[in-house]
């Protein structure tokens, strides 16, 4: 399939990109790696008249530690996340998650900003960002603001981005040294979106869980931060009864569609199983 016609713009600064987007209005879309947007255009589910390509904006490829946070520029590719020694050391769950996104070709082009800004509940990074307590810097002609990932997703393909704004960077609080982590994803085949997936980050001390955070992918119209389920784990030794209660609490907030990945009830149960597996892996990795 061939997309409809469009005008192509390639600004070199964030200021010119947001000015263009504001001026062109609803007929314009930012273009990052293109691996969600172009397939939609090919099937005519999207038909923007203008594409504002962000790839020539050098400042959007930042990857550095600032105080207690790591900052990832929006145009950082999923491949760069996988190969970053800095991220492997400080936030290793990013690499584990990026490795189960699509396939290598897509990961060479697909960006963190595009994955987080897209608003597709099937994207893997949003639930992880919620689990990590990340925030997004959104920039428009009037300046920048920080929005927590836990407040950014309003519905399927609906986000807190205002007209003319772009997501410029992701700010992730670095989890404590010795934390345990796991991202578990059930998919029908390599390269598929999740039937259900779960992200877990925990800390342990003397065999007791001292903090926990859980994100769930593709089991609702938005990514889910399972705060009640995580709260159940804190203060426990992660014994079977506590884990069962946490899994039940996580399953209770899901509301997946019945689709080609399975009926809704099945996908809810798979979310619970992914959570169990991610938690088990996190526990084996946690020091303390």
Q: Are 171 and 76 in contact (CB under 8 A)?
A: no
**Residue 29 engages ligand FAD in binding (rule: CB under 6 A):** yes
Q: Are 100 and 193 in contact (CB under 8 A)?
A: no
**Residue 115, token pair as written in the block:** 């994955």
- CA atoms of 231 and 234, how far apart (whole Å): 5
**Residue 36 engages ligand FAD in binding (rule: CB under 6 A):** yes
Instruction: Compute the least distance from the CB of residue 248 to ligand FAD, in Å.
Output: 27
**Residue 223 engages ligand FAD in binding (rule: CB under 6 A):** no
- CA atoms of 162 and 278, how far apart (whole Å): 34
Query: Which x/- pattern, by CB under 6 A, does the window 66-105 give for ligand FAD?
Result: --------x--------------------------xx---
Instruction: Cite the DSSP H helix spans in the chain.
Output: 14-24, 37-42, 78-83, 85-90, 93-98, 104-109, 112-117, 125-132, 149-152, 227-233, 240-252, 264-285
**Residue 222 engages ligand FAD in binding (rule: CB under 6 A):** no
**Residue 136 engages ligand FAD in binding (rule: CB under 6 A):** no
- CA atoms of 70 and 239, how far apart (whole Å): 33
Judge residue 179's burial from the number of C-beta atoms within 10 Å of its C-beta, 0-12 exposed, 13-18 middle, 19 or more buried: buried
Phi, psi of 66 (to 5 degrees): -130, 110
**Residue 160 engages ligand FAD in binding (rule: CB under 6 A):** no
Of the residues 76, 111, 130, 137, which one makes contact with ligand FAD according to CB under 6 A: 111
Of the residues 4, 25, 39, 235, which one makes contact with ligand FAD according to CB under 6 A: 39
Query: Which x/- pattern, by CB under 6 A, does the window 137-156 give for ligand FAD?
Result: --------------------
**Residue 251 engages ligand FAD in binding (rule: CB under 6 A):** no
How many residues bind ligand FAD, per CB under 6 A?
A: 29
Nearer to ligand FAD, 193 or 249 (CB): 193
Q: What is the chain's length? A: 288
Q: Which residues bind ligand FAD (CB under 6 A)?
A: 29-37, 39, 54, 74, 101-102, 106, 110-111, 113-115, 117-118, 123-124, 161, 166-167, 191, 193
């Amino acid at each position: 399939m061939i997309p409809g016609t469009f005008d192509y713009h390639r600004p070199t600064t964030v200021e010119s990109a947001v000015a263009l987007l504001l001026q062109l209005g609803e007929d314009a879309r930012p273009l990052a790696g293109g691996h969600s947007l172009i397939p939609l255009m090919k099937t005519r589910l999207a038909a923007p008249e203008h594409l504002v390509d962000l790839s020539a904006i050098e400042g959007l490829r930042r990857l550095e530690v600032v105080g207690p946070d790591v900052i990832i520029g929006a145009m950082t590719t999923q491949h760069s996340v996988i190969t970053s020694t800095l991220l492997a050391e400080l936030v290793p769950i990013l690499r584990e998650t990026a490795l189960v996104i699509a396939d290598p070709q897509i990961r060479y082009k697909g960006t963190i900003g595009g994955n987080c800004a897209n608003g597709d509940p099937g994207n893997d990074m949003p639930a992880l960002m919620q689990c990590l307590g990340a925030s997004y810097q959104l920039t428009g002609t009037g300046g920048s603001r920080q929005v927590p990932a836990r407040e950014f997703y309003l519905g399927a393909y609906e986000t807190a981005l205002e007209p003319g704004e772009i997501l410029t960077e992701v700010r992730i609080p670095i989890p404590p040294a010795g934390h345990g982590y796991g991202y578990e994803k059930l998919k029908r085949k390599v390269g598929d979106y999740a039937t259900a997936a779960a992200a877990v980050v925990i800390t342990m001390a003397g065999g007791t869980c001292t903090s926990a955070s859980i994100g769930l992918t593709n089991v609702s119209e938005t990514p889910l931060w399972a705060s009640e389920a995580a709260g159940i784990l804190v203060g426990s030794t992660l014994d079977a009864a506590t884990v069962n209660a946490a899994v039940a609490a996580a399953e209770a907030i899901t509301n997946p569609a019945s689709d080609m990945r399975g009926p809704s009830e099945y996908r809810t149960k798979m979310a619970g199983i992914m959570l169990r597996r991610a938690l088990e892996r996190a526990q084996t990795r946690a020091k303390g």
